[in-house]
Amino acid sequence: MGRSSCSTLLLLALFLLPAATGELDASANGEARLLFIEAGDEVIFSALAPADATVEWDFGRDVTGPGSRWNSSREVSYVIHAAGAYNVTCTATYGDGSVEWQQLWVVASWEEPLDEPDANRPLFIALAGSELFMGGWLLLITWRLREEKSYL
């Protein structure tokens, strides 16, 4: 009995300790690792870290214009207009000098709008069908006239 309660406490400690130490928890629109969006959507990057930690975001490239690659806010909001894959790194530096980082991926897709339907296509199909019908009818009449050998 004492042995099982000790192992239960050990398991409980293993599951609770990482949450109790105040690790970095970075997310994009609430997603911890990978986020799929449409180009032009707003993305909110948020970092949960202890109060004594400083947070720095590295977006890998200037997301919304010159000077937008780095940000030191705990919550950053960007509208991503360009399609592509964005590798975002969040780094937390704690008061004791230790550093922790997390990577997030944001995939922005863009679909070309479909071409408008061709309004003349039904008319074209009707005309082509009638020409085929008339051509077949003329071929039949010509063939019958040749068999009778009657010429006009």
Across the chain, where does the E strand assignment appear? Answer: 25-28, 34-38, 42-48, 54-58, 70-71, 75-79, 84-93, 99-109
Could you read off the pLDDT of 49-81 as tens digits, one per residue? 888 899 999 988 777 777 778 888 899 998 888
Rounded CA gap, 42 and 59, in Å?
15
pTM greater than 0.75 (yes/no): no
Rounded CA gap, 109 and 81, in Å?
10
**In degrees rounded to 5, what are phi and psi of residue 130?**
-70, -35
Place of tokens 């993305």: 43
Rounded CA gap, 39 and 110, in Å?
5
What is the CATH architecture assignment of 22-109? Answer: Sandwich (2.60)
